[in-house]
Chains A and B, each alone.
Chain A
Amino acid sequence: MHAFQYHRPASAKDALALAGQKSEGRYLAGGQSLVQAMKLRLSSPTDLIDLGTIRELAGIKVSGGSVEIGAMTRHAEVASSAEIKKTIASLAAMAALIGDRQVRHMGTIGGSLANSDPAADYPAAVLALNGTITTNKRKVPGDQFFKGLYETALEPGELITSVTFQVPKRGAYMKFRNPASRFALVGVYVADFGSGNVRVGVTGAGASAFRQTEMEKALSAKFAPEAVASIKVKPDGLNNDLHASPEYRAHLITVMAKRAVEQALK
């Protein structure tokens, strides 16, 4: 790890001001990806701006048909939140599957989304639950947020403050784990909002999370496992690595989608 300056601003305003001054600085959320990258010397920011003590960035608010989660809310808080379990149980269940216990108590939703790891879980939820990412400047629809491998719509210095999810009628997330890292080799989030509005978010399979529109159409017509079971996903453009070929990932998208629908119907 290379040397860096550590800062702990007390407010989002101070954090933004620091980010403006330190062009090679980085926000530090839960540190579950960034610190690892720094240890491997893949990332070497001059300054770390720790958001950990900024209380205004954390918290869970349920209002009407949506759930707003502060950017610095830890995965474990989402997993154990009674309000989220009541409104979007599948989101709490998904958060409980992220990483391991230690990761869930440090990692944050904002950090995960800003990082846009191709195998992270939250991006699938943002797409399936029609999420909106709120930053210090604007609101970005989830569909326009993920731009590619570790790429998002965020501009330099822009700070995610919260994420808002639409509450579905029912939904579920199914993950097939990478045997080594335990990240999603393929993860599929299915959400049914009723009146033929179904959204399917896929993670782990492409450069970044994406929606599976063919499955959305099929499930909108009939929300049942058999509606997706026979859909053959095209492997073109899917990730290829030592753990899974594009063909295997394409196959797993169908299997995980089918199982997610089964789970959502339980």
Chain B
Amino acid sequence: MVVTWASKRLNRAVKWTSDRSEAFVSDAHGRDHVTTAELALDKNGKFLAMRVGTTANLGAYLSTFSSCIPTILYATLLAGQYKTPAIYCEVTAVFTNTVPVDAYRGAGRPEATYVVERLVETAARELKLDPVELRRRNFITEFPYQTPVALCYDTGNYEATLGAALKIGDVAGFKERREQSLRRGKLRGLGYACYIEACGIAPSNVAGSLGARAGLFEAGEIRVHPTGTVTVFTGSHSHGQGHETTFAQVVAERLGLGMEQVEVVHGDTSKILFGMGTYGSRSLAVGGTAIVKALDKVIAKGKKIAAHLLEASEGDIEYERGLFKVAGTDKQKSFGEVAFAAYVPHNYPLDKLEPGLNENAFYDPTNFTFPAGSYVCEVEVDRETGATQVVSFTAVDDFGKIINPMIVEGQVHGGLTQGIGQALTENCMYDADGQLLSGTLSDYAIPRATDVPLFKIDTRETACTHNPLGVKGCGEAGAIGAPAAEMNAITDALGVKDLPMPATAQNVWRAMHTR
């Protein structure tokens, strides 16, 4: 607002840069819940009901998404991967004198996963059941599944990800590793987290009825050039997520072009359609689908042009790997020839068809997508200092169809590291006078490469049923599942029921000494 005002006053462009110190005292915080949770089970270990009471800090005033994070992005996720028939959640949101608490990778879903997975693990320990077995007894196995907390899961296979994680994480060998650690003066613990995520908030009319003041669609435009190359305009911004690669792959594959023939433009509101942006791991599921819809229109128009050029009926034209073909014949026109004809319409059905090959589409999803996965974390705790090292972390995720495995792997690595940071090191601390103590990177401990192990990751696929790419989203998963797995492992190592995050060396040392 100030920059806009200054720009109007000065009648020139004004740029504002926040320095690190300013960011520390003014950037929104994340999480900050205090929760009490209860789980009722029958004698066979089947979940009967869950009751959750949460006090959520919103900071001094409401920020962009503040109020929806501890409510509709939190309570609706409390079914997790389980058939819990009755779930009650009461959230008391409070104003305090901290910086506003707002969306932070996962936004509500890590908090929900933490509650469910810490609760399930605790139940297993208290009932002396294998935490894997307890989860298996309660997994949702039939889809679509209507949860008691509003969401309807379209698809999933939770046994597949859990089974794979157990193997990759060599859970069978844990007992022996625990013995080895003990001989070195270290306490070893193992923890699981089976998370569910809801990506691509939708549809707009439902969100609107819940108080959202914006649409939740995404826009895509395909501009085919006379040379047959393509520029893709997307309303979903890429700030490191690799849209330039993934979206180009989607377009190149659908059109049968080379990657180098596709350019992706994002982030410039003077060029692109009115879009909604990148959030909630939605870019591919929502933005990618808008692009696919625009591509369908391009191909449909291309068929009309090709039919004219090939003197065939439109219904006989097939599009395959960059070629418009007359079915059952060897007559064909390349994508480039059709594009050229569209812009140099000398032989063209001008009476029936506009020249040019440029289509756009808007996509408003009918439902969320539901990525899910199983994480297994192993930690070693130094008995003398309380220092905790994550010695093994296995993550098996179901993100639906995967377009670019390397980008997905990068997202998982980043998410897991962020989740481990939340569990082990990161903390916004104020003193009694409201002075921020963690105001520099010398005091606010972000996780470093040495704080995380070499991740063991894999994927299992169940395709999303309601978007044409079958994709679900992968941007936040790691940060959603990691804290619960991490804290389940630490409490296992220490033999304590609960421990607040972050489990810094000092906090762990205290827990060992007050046991």
Which A residues form the contact surface with B (CB < 8 A)? Answer: 40, 176, 178-181, 183, 241-245, 248, 251-252, 255
Contacts and interface: CB of A to CB of B under 8 A. Distances in A.
Contacts of B510: 248
A176 B385 contact: yes
Interface stretch (B83-91, B404-412, B436-444): B436-444
Contact of A244 (B21, B384, B506): B506
B504 interface: yes
Most B C-beta atoms less than 10 A away, residue of A180, A245, A248, A251: A180
- Chain B interface residue number, banded: 20 to 34
Interface string B420-463: 00000101010000000110111111100000000000000000
B440 to A, nearest CB: 8
A243 B504 contact: yes
Interface string B372-403: 00000000000011010000000000000000
Contacts of B387: 176
Nearest to B509: A248
Contacts of A252: 385
B442 A181 contact: yes
Interface string B493-515: 00000000000111001100000
Given A176-B385, A180-B444, 17 more contacts: A178-B442, A179-B425, A179-B445, A179-B505, A180-B425, A180-B438, A180-B441, A180-B442, A180-B445, A181-B442, A183-B442, A241-B437, A242-B437, A242-B443, A243-B506, A248-B506, A248-B509
For the residues of B in contact with A, the DSSP-based class is: loop
Residue of B429, B505, B510 ringed by the most chain A CB atoms within 10 A: B505
A255 B505 CA distance: 13
Contact of B443 (A180, A248, A255): A180
Contacts of B429: 242
16 contacts: A40-B21, A176-B505, A178-B442, A179-B425, A179-B504, A180-B425, A180-B444, A183-B442, A242-B443, A243-B504, A245-B506, A248-B506, A248-B509, A248-B510, A251-B509, A255-B385
A255 B385 CA distance: 7
A241 B445 CA distance: 14
Contacts of B444: 180
A181 B385 contact: no
Nearest to A176: B385
A179 B510 CA distance: 16
A147 to B, nearest CB: 23
B187 to A, nearest CB: 15
Contacts of A251: 509
Contacts of B442: 178, 180-181, 183
A40 B438 CA distance: 15
B385 A242 contact: no
